[in-house]
Every structure is written in structure tokens, then in C-alpha cells.
Amino acid sequence: MIPSKKKPKPVMRHLLAMESLDKSAINYLLDLAEHFAATPSHDPSICTALCGKLVTHLFFEPSTRTIHSFEIAAKRLGTIVLQPNMMNLSTVKGESMIDTIHTFEKMGTDCFVIRHPDNFMPQFIAGELLGHTHIINAGDGYNQHPTQALLDLLTIRQHKTTFENLSVCIIGDIAHSRVARSLVEGLQKMGTEDIRLVAPQIFMPEDIKNLQVTATNKLNDGLANADVVVALRIQKERIKNSVLPDVNQYFQSYGLTQERMTHAKPDAIVMHPGPINRDIEIDSQVADGPQSVILQQVKNGVHVRMAVLHTILTQSDPS
């Protein structure tokens, strides 16, 4: 049933960053996500697949899409999901993060799904585990959001025949975006060479030269003949010292409108990881228009997270 007969299952103790996935592992996960999407949820191969496993969510930042799609994905595969109220955790009484992790490990957690405002927190936790527990990074600071990149790649694959010849334009607050970093890495692994990052200078990452992309401050240049257009929100929660742009001015220069979309290819798709800030980075006509695949991204999120949980939690135990 699971499409592992043709392609070997990737070895995955954790999913911390796109760096750990090669093209074949990405294709395996996207194929498995498609398999889960096409199989009725009451099929025993799905609803009992991870029976007896315990998945614990630790979200130290707000989330609508990621936390709930992980919950749905884990429950559809038959796991128990522990979703603690973060305000009632003993971390607020001074317990350290690692003591909290060890406590949940001893209660039987098989896999943690972690979102944290600090870069590399899931990687740090992965180095401090007591047992063969698994970690999935659900977004760390402005570093990585690997399951978002996987669902973005699946959405692109459903609309475009190849990654190799695509022109992809990512617009907005790139500097504070873990989504942009993860997607650029994922696209490059799949063979996409023409990636344009469009942002005002204050939202360009300092390490832009290391990313092997085209960077521009001019939206129409970035959009020219693009196949895929990705709009990003301004990550206000991560902007500490620099002055935020006036939102009306920002929309005038970088807002994705119908008129601006005429610079992209007529069959270009419009993506956004969510949450959307309408009339700041994207006009409602575009967000809700025929080229938008934003809600398809949301739907794919459930199946991609099923694929990741299934792949990680069915690895053979080394003990």
C-alpha cells in the first residue's frame, strides 16, 4: 500500500531542516503524501498505521495551520496527540526546556513537534534527548520550517511538470522568513535554478550572497515571466530594532495585485504560507483569485505531515 516498494524509505531520525533531505527523500515524502491524500481515511492501513505512538506538541509561538494539521495528521494515523496548554506548563515556574523535554519523554512521548522563536532550538533539543525520541521542527525563529517547504513543493509539483525549468519569485520579508529559507533550499535540491527574491533592502537577508539566488528591490523585475509567485507577510514579531515600513507605502511598492501579476506568466500560480495580511503583502483579488493555490497549500499540509510522521515513526528502532 505504502509506495515504498519502488523507492527506499529515507533514513530519518528527526526532521530538523531541509538540509538533511536529498531529492530522492523529498520525492519519497511527496509521493507518500499523495498516497495518503488518495486513500480513504478509514482505510486500516492509514487509521491504525501508528497505533500506540504518542506525539507531543510543544508550540512556543502561535500557529493555526501547522499545529492543527500536525494534530489532524497524527490522529488520522492512529496516534495519541498531547497538546499541552503552553501557559500551564511548568516552564512558566522556571523549569528548563530540557527538564520539560525529559519529563515528556519519560511519560512515553515518541515524537515531539516543536515550534520555537529561537533559531536552532529543535536542533539543540535533539542533542539532549534521553532516548530514541524523534523531533520534527515546526518552525524555529527565522531559520527553518521544513514541513512548510515540503507542502509548498508538493503544491508546485501538482501544477508544474518539472522543477528544473521553473522561475520562482518570492516577495516580501525574506530576512525574517524561515519559510523562504526552507523553500529556497528545497527548490534548489529539486533542480530549480531561477529563484528571485524581491524585497526592500531592510527585508533582504544579510547572507543573501550565500543563497545563490537573484535578489532585487524591483517587484516587476522579479515577477517577469515567473511560473510561481510566493508572497510573504511581514514578520513583525521578529523585527526588534529596525523600523517597520508604513503598510500603505509597502503595499504600493511590494503588494501583489492583479495588475502586477500581469508581469508573470499567464499560468503562474500564487502561493502564500499564511497567515495572510490582506492589503499589506497581497490584494484580496489575487489571494482569492483563479491563480491562487493558497488553500491547496493548507490541504497539502495535512498529507505532507502524515508522510513525515509516518516515515519517522516507522523507522526501525536501533535498540
- Write out the E strands in the chain: 54-59, 80-82, 111-116, 134-140, 167-171, 194-198, 214-216, 228-231, 269-271
Q: What are phi and psi of 267, to 5 degrees?
A: -100, 20
Alpha carbon distance 106, 85 (integer Å): 19
- Least distance to ligand CP from the beta carbon of 55, Å? 16
Alpha carbon distance 68, 240 (integer Å): 28
Of 35 and 173, which has the nearer Cβ to ligand CP? 173
- Least distance to ligand CP from the beta carbon of 61, Å? 7
- Least distance to ligand CP from the beta carbon of 171, Å? 16
Of 140 and 167, which has the nearer Cβ to ligand CP? 140
Of 34 and 71, which has the nearer Cβ to ligand CP? 71
DSSP code per residue over 47-76: HTTTTT-EEEEEESS--SHHHHHHHHHHHH
- Least distance to ligand CP from the beta carbon of 230, Å? 12
| Total length of the chain | 319
Which residues would be at the binding site for ligand CP (CB under 6 A)? 63-66, 139, 148, 273-275
- Least distance to ligand CP from the beta carbon of 274, Å? 5
- Least distance to ligand CP from the beta carbon of 178, Å? 8
Q: Which residue's CB comes closest to ligand CP?
A: 66
Q: Give how far Cα 286 sits from Cα of 78, 260, 293, Å.
A: 38, 10, 10
Of 68 and 102, which has the nearer Cβ to ligand CP? 68
Question: Which residues, 6+ apart, have CB-to-CB distance to 147 below 8 Å?
Answer: 15, 66, 70, 136, 137, 138, 301, 304, 305, 308
Of 64 and 90, which has the nearer Cβ to ligand CP? 64
Of 151 and 286, which has the nearer Cβ to ligand CP? 151
Alpha carbon distance 96, 163 (integer Å): 43
